[in-house]
């Protein structure tokens, strides 16, 4: 096998296609960039079409009138040079007029501008055409005269001397085109600025934050679009608030008859019917409590009561008090100091996660309640002592059960969603446990991460906690 073929390509060569692909993808996604490129393309095409059309029109029209006049003028110039040709007369003619005179023959070879010969050869090699009539050269325009003694006199326009002004004008033209392109981009960006405001506002509305509407900057079509989106968001906010108010009212009203029904059921004698009734009433109470808590957490971090809390101590206390009958394993990183969290909501999160693991873990190994750092092991103690945010952490539970399928793991955490309704109903639960955990995680500035653990399922709140000395909310 060839060593050159087997050796890997340098990283720089592999990075170029990726960078080009990312740039191409950004350009395809950017309306501003595509509009500017469209303007540049249209401008270039317009210039090329105009110049080509003008050239063809000029060549097709005035050449028939210009050729006879030019031939007569060339005859006079050849007569002035003389036969046999005189180099002094040719040089005097070139000094008086912007002409180049070249004499070729058996007795004399002379050029008034020898420095132009190299430039002429390179130009002919770069731009050679099959038809001499369409090129502005001596042969095609009849600028060559043959003398009686066998000399050939060619006339042409002398190449102007290079100067810094000519070169400077070219750079100024290029700079002007670049400035025009940048100005077009700035104008397009200003024209489409409302789209950026609309994008940010729509993302904010998607998170349920309706307090800040879209800033309407102009009275045009994009301004009208922003106004209509604001009206739609206000309507949706009103409907959501009405739904929330109705749900809270129904939940509160159901608590009183539910309490009375439970008291009446307690007075009944021991029987299978009494046990089933109490179990159903307990599920109803759990459902109402979960609904009320989910609506409170809909306000985000504003619903939290933060206080400095040692999460490792909270996890040990929860195992001792709430899960003394369960062989719950602990895997706690003790380096995280006190952080600002809502301890009551975190107890609810851990209880729901442990209950979910116990419900679906079956007879496998005991679930594991863990607290660990997610972004490396660097200097956690020093960060906590200084009051800085101690990085990204995960607080959650891992079970060793059969887990869930790939098409179901994405839906876990939705309200009232259960991947196996029959099994879940028999084991208890109303389908709001993981949904509440997700709301609690988001209220703390993080999210609920659900992933396969092989075997089993791992559910964890992943967030950046605020150290107790910092006083800032987690990001």
Cβ burial, residue 246 (10 Å; 0-12/13-18/19+): exposed
The domain 305-467 having CATH identifier 3.30.565.10: the answer here is: yes
Kindly report the pTM of this predicted structure. Answer: 0.49
Query: CA 355 to CA 429: how far, in whole Å?
Result: 9
Q: Where are the domains of the chain?
A: 30-61+161-191, 62-128+142-157, 221-293, 305-467
Token digits for 205? 């509305």
Query: Helix, strand, coil % (nearest 5) of the chain?
Result: 55, 10, 30
381: confidence class by pLDDT, cuts 50, 70, 90: very low
Highest mean pLDDT among 43-47, 282-286, 309-313: 309-313
The pLDDT value recorded for residue 117 is 63
User: To the nearest whole number, what is the mean pLDDT of the chain?
Assistant: 76
Residue 129 or 335, more confident: 335
pLDDT, average across residues 155-169: 68
> Which residues, listed in sequence order, are joined to residue 179 by a DSSP beta bridge?
none
Q: Rounded to an integer, what distance in angstroms lies between the CA atom of residue 34 and that of residue 409?
A: 39
Quick check: 393 pLDDT over 90? Answer: yes
For residues 350 and 369, what is the distance between their CA atoms, to the nearest angstrom? 8
The encoded tokens of residue 322 equal 């709430």
* Count of alpha carbons within 13 angstroms of residue 458, beta-carbon side: 16
pLDDT score recorded for residue 142: 63
pLDDT bin (cut points 50, 70, 90) of residue 473 is very low
| H or E segment and range at residue 395 | strand 393-398
Does residue 208 carry a pLDDT above 80? no
Q: Percentage of residues in the chain with pLDDT exceeding 70?
A: 75
Alpha carbon distance 337, 310 (integer Å): 6
Confidence grade of residue 129 (pLDDT, cut at 50, 70, 90):
very low
For residue 73, pLDDT over 60 is answered with yes
* Range with the poorest average pLDDT among 7-11, 53-57, 300-304, 413-417: 7-11
Q: Which of 287-291, 354-358, 374-378 has the lowest mean pLDDT?
A: 374-378
pLDDT band at 382 (very low <50, low <70, confident <90, very high): very low
Tokens 């290029």, located at residue = 174
pLDDT digits (tens, 9 = 90+) for 227-243: 888 888 888 888 877 87
Mean pLDDT within 355-382: 73
Distance between CA atoms of residues 247 and 249, nearest Å = 5
pLDDT at residue 356 tops 50: yes
Q: State how far the Cα of 109 lies from the Cα of 165, in Å rounded to an integer.
A: 34
pLDDT value for 370? 94
Determine if residue 150 is left, alpha or beta; phi over 0 gives left, psi from -120 to 50 gives alpha, anything else beta.
left
Q: Given pLDDT bands bounded at 50, 70 and 90, which one contains residue 369?
A: very high
Question: What's the mean pLDDT in 402-418?
Answer: 75
Residue 356: count of CB within 10 angstroms of its CB: 22
- The answer to whether the Cα torsion of 95, 77, 117, 142 is positive or negative is positive
Residue 5: the pLDDT is 46
**Across 104-126, average pLDDT:** 71
**Residue 28 pLDDT:** 66
Query: Residue 396's pLDDT is what?
Result: 93
Between 275 and 422, name the one with better pLDDT: 275
The rounded distance, in Å, linking the Cα atoms of 81 and 147 is 10
| Same fold yes or no, 221-293 and 305-467 | no
Does residue 246 register a pLDDT over 80? no
- Where residue 316 falls among pLDDT bands split at 50, 70, 90? very high
The class of domain 221-293 in CATH terms is mainly alpha
**Looking at residue 378, what is its pLDDT?**
41
Q: pLDDT tens, 41-65?
A: 887 888 888 777 777 776 666 666 7
The residue that leads in pLDDT, 296 or 381, is: 296
pLDDT at 384: 38
Q: Is the pLDDT of residue 385 over 50?
A: no
Beta strands in 133-227 (DSSP E): 144-146, 152-157
Of the given ranges (10-24, 174-188, 315-329), which has the lowest mean pLDDT? 10-24
- Least confident residue range of 51-60, 415-424, 461-470: 415-424
Look at residue 201 and tell me whether its pLDDT is greater than 80. Answer: yes
With cut-offs at 50, 70 and 90, classify the pLDDT of residue 383: very low
Higher pLDDT, 12 or 113: 113
Residue 17, sorted as left (phi over 0), alpha (psi -120 to 50) or beta, turns out to be alpha
pLDDT of residue 290 exceeding 80: no
> pLDDT exceeding 90 applies to what percent of the chain?
7
The lowest-confidence range among 179-188, 345-354, 373-382 is 373-382
Asked if the model's pLDDT at residue 178 lies above 90, the reply is no
């Amino acid at each position: 096998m060839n060593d050159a073929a087997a050796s890997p390509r340098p990283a720089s060569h592999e990075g170029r296609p990726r960078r080009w692909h990312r740039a191409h993808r950004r350009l395809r996604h950017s309306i501003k960039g595509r509009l500017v490129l469209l303007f540049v393309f249209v401008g270039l095409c317009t210039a090329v079409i105009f110049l080509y059309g003008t050239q063809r029109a000029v060549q097709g029209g005035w050449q028939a009138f210009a050729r006879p006049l030019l031939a007569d003028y060339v005859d006079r110039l050849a007569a002035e040079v003389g036969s046999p040709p005189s180099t002094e007369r040719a040089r005097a003619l070139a000094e008086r007029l912007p002409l180049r005179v070249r004499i070729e023959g058996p007795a004399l070879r002379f050029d008034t501008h020898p420095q132009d010969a190299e430039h002429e050869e390179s130009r002919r090699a770069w731009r050679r055409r099959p038809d001499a009539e369409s090129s502005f050269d001596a042969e095609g325009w009849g600028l060559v005269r043959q003398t009686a003694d066998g000399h050939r006199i060619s006339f042409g326009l002398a190449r102007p001397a290079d100067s810094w002004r000519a070169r400077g004008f070219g750079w100024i033209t290029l700079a002007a085109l670049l400035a025009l392109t940048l100005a077009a981009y700035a104008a397009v960006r200003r024209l489409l600025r409302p789209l950026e405001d609309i994008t940010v506002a729509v993302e904010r509305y998607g998170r349920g934050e309706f307090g800040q509407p879209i800033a309407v900057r102009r009275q045009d079509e994009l301004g009208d679009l922003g106004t209509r989106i604001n009206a739609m968001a206000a309507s949706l906010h009103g409907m959501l608030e009405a739904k929330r108010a109705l749900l809270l009212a129904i939940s509160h009203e159901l608590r009183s008859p539910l309490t009375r029904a439970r008291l009446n059921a307690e007075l009944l004698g021991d029987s299978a019917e009494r046990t089933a009734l109490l179990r159903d009433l307990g599920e109803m109470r759990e459902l109402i409590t979960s609904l009320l808590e989910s609506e409170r957490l809909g306000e985000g971090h504003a619903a939290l009561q933060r206080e400095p809390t040692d999460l490792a101590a909270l996890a040990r206390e929860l195992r001792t008090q709430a899960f003394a009958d369960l062989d719950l394993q602990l895997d706690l990183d003790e380096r995280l100091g006190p952080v600002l969290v809502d301890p009551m909501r975190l107890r609810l999160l851990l209880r729901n996660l442990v209950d979910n693991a116990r419900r679906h873990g079956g007879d496998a190994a005991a679930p594991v309640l863990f607290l660990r750092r997610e972004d490396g092991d660097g200097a956690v103690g020093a960060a906590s002592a200084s009051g800085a945010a101690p990085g990204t952490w995960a607080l959650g539970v891992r079970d060793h059960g059969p887990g869930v399928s790939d098409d179901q793991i994405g839906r876990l955490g939705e309200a009232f969603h259960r991947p196996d309704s029959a099994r879940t109903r028999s084991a208890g639960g109303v389908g709001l446990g993981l949904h509440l955990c997700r709301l609690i995680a988001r209220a703390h500035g993080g999210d609920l991460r659900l992933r396969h653990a092989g075997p089993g399922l791992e559910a964890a709140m992943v967030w950046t906690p605020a150290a107790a000395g910092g006083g800032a909310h987690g990001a």
